[in-house]
Amino acid sequence: MVKISLIYARSENHCIGRDGQLPWKLPEEYAHFLRVTRGNAVIMGRRTYEENNSELQGCRNIVVSRSDKLVLPANVSRAGSLPEALSLCVDLADKVFVIGGVSLYREALPKAQEVYETVVMADLEGDTYIDAFDFTEWTTEQVKTHGVDASHAFAFTVFRHRRSRVTAGQSE
Ligand SMILES: NC(=O)c1ccc[n+]([C@@H]2O[C@H](COP(=O)([O-])OP(=O)(O)OC[C@H]3O[C@@H](n4cnc5c(N)ncnc54)[C@H](OP(=O)(O)O)[C@@H]3O)[C@@H](O)[C@H]2O)c1
């Protein structure tokens, strides 16, 4: 059975996007995102796909959109819903990462076994905010921290949350 993971970066006040982009430039955080997702399937909303401007290399890319007029490269699939996107991943990859945005994170969380959450140490203004998910029942480890430097205007910490026990709604 395919394993569902979420991966996102949020500010302390849960901002994840501004004007269709990330509200920050944090090269080491983006490198972590690429490392973790590489070789897996990635499911994203249409706006998130447009932000990336291309598919993620080394991943099976699926874009969720209600529009069947969306034009995509041959190696990127469209799905009309999250369940349809997940059904396209069966037998394609061991892990499926939901990489945004807000409504897909919300819908996928009850089915997820794992969440990579980066907390960017700042309160930031934007137009896209993720829910404050409750991980108190999950097992959490701190994966990485990075301070402010010439390339990183904000410090950040990466957490990996894993479900502590099997609960209803999980896919395994
Ligand atoms: N910080 C992070 O980790 C992170 C991660 C991802 C994105 N972001 C940011 O978040 C913003 C984009 O996120 P967003 O939440 O606004 O948009 P989004 O979820 O990426 O895209 C929304 C669109 O996706 C499609 N969609 C979403 N859920 C669907 C569903 N259940 N069924 C069918 N179609 C569905 C619809 O496309 P159609 O309109 O074509 O039907 C919808 O209009 C950007 O600023 C991006 O940079 C940040």
For tokens 């901002």, what's the residue? Answer: 15
Please state, in angstroms and rounded to a whole number, the distance separating the CA atoms of residues 62 and 168. Answer: 26
For residue 19, the SS3 value is coil
Q: How many CB atoms lie within 10 A of CB 118?
A: 22
Mean pLDDT for 107-130 is: 98
User: What are the structural domain ranges in the chain?
Assistant: 3-163
Tell me whether strands 60-64 and 41-45 are parallel, antiparallel or unpaired: parallel
- Whether ligand 1 lies within 6 angstroms of the CB of 17 is answered as yes
Q: What is the CATH number of domain 3-163?
A: 3.40.430.10
Mutate to test the pocket of ligand 1, among 48, 86, 124 (most ligand atoms within 8 A of CB): 48
Please state, in angstroms and rounded to a whole number, the distance separating the CA atoms of residues 81 and 91. Answer: 19
Model pLDDT for residues 150-171, shown as the tens digit of each residue: 999 999 999 999 998 655 454 4
Please state, in angstroms and rounded to a whole number, the distance separating the CA atoms of residues 26 and 59. Answer: 21
Query: What is the distance in A from the centroid of ligand 1 to the CA of 83?
Result: 16
Mutate to test the pocket of ligand 1, among 12, 42, 64 (most ligand atoms within 8 A of CB): 64
Please state, in angstroms and rounded to a whole number, the distance separating the CA atoms of residues 99 and 92. Answer: 17
pLDDT at 52: 78
Q: What is the mean pLDDT of the chain?
A: 93
